Structure 1
Amino acid sequence: MLFLIILLIIICVALAIFVLIQNPKGGGLATGSSASNMFGVQRTGDVLEKGTWILLAVVVVITLSITTIAKTGNGGSTGGSKIEEQLNRTPAPSPIGNAPATTAPATSAPANNNAAPAETPAQPAP
């Protein structure tokens, strides 16, 4: 799959170069300009245009291939992504509401030396 991604990047760069090399036709939808037919420019334009369409078709095919390989899981990688691994390691939520799965550790309250002693219950007289 890594090979296909590298190939896709190379083809995209080639496609960009093909598009940038082409002479602008100008005139929007107007066709048949005589300036582009001089000195064999039309033939070069045809080759670049056909190459652009071919590279575009190859980009589409490789992109669909990468998507298909990624969805079927036959990418040749030993495991999923790091996000998938982290999701698999997290515990499932508890079925009882939104209660946390673990309890907080008990903390000891500091001793209060200035507190008054607790009152003892009054004893009945004999």
Structure 2
Amino acid sequence: MSTFTIFLVLIVVVAFLLIVVIMVQNPKGGGLSSSFGGGGTQQLGGVKKTTDFLDKSTWTLATLLLVLILVSNIAIDRGSAGVESKAYDADAPSTQPLPAVPTTTDTTTATPEDSVAE
């Protein structure tokens, strides 16, 4: 298992946890926490520490997700070659010739009067 794969799995797990933490929070309208018993879960703790914990965990998970995404960029295996782009070829000539434009050898010109038969 490569390092990038490990980072990818961690990113997916943290993103899933972040979604769950955001969905559990109690917004003005109630949120999912009200569906599972509402304020009873917060009263069970006795204080409003649940909202503080959810707020801190949201910021922590969001920061962790951002850091994992940035660090995973370092773990990408780019190979030993310098430039692997197929659009850029160092051996190719710098300019390419333009395609030939077909020329017409017809010297007769049609006028509007010629096309109208009276």
State the TM-score, normalizing by the size of structure 2. 0.51
| Runs of 4 or more consecutive aligned structure 1 residues displaced over 3 Å after TM superposition | 76-80, 84-89, 93-96
Q: Which residue of 1 aligns with 2:58?
A: 52
Deviation per residue, 1:38-97 (Å, 9 max, x gap): 723621111111111110110111111123x1xxxx5346578xxx475578x8357551
Distance 1:63 1:7, change over 3 A: same
Larger Rg: 1
Q: Which residue of 2 aligns with 1:92?
A: 92
Distance 1:22 1:41, change over 3 A: farther
Structure 1: gaps spanning 5 or more residues: 27-34, 100-126
Identity of aligned residues (%): 29
Paired AA for residue 75 in structure 1: I
Q: Which residue of 2 aligns with 1:13?
A: 16
Q: Which residue of 2 aligns with 1:75?
A: 76
Structure 2: gaps spanning 5 or more residues: 30-38, 100-118
Q: Distance in 2 between matches of 1:96 and 1:78?
A: 30
Distance 1:52 1:88, change over 3 A: same
Count of matched residue positions in the alignment of Structure 1 and Structure 2: 83
Quote the RMSD (CA, aligned, Å).
Answer: 3.4
Distance 1:64 1:94, change over 3 A: closer
Task: Summarize the alignment of residues 29-48 of structure 1 with structure 2, pairs less than 5 Å apart.
Answer: 39=43, 40=46, 42-48=48-54
Q: Distance in 1 between matches of 2:7 and 2:51?
A: 29
Q: Distance in 2 between matches of 1:44 and 1:51?
A: 10
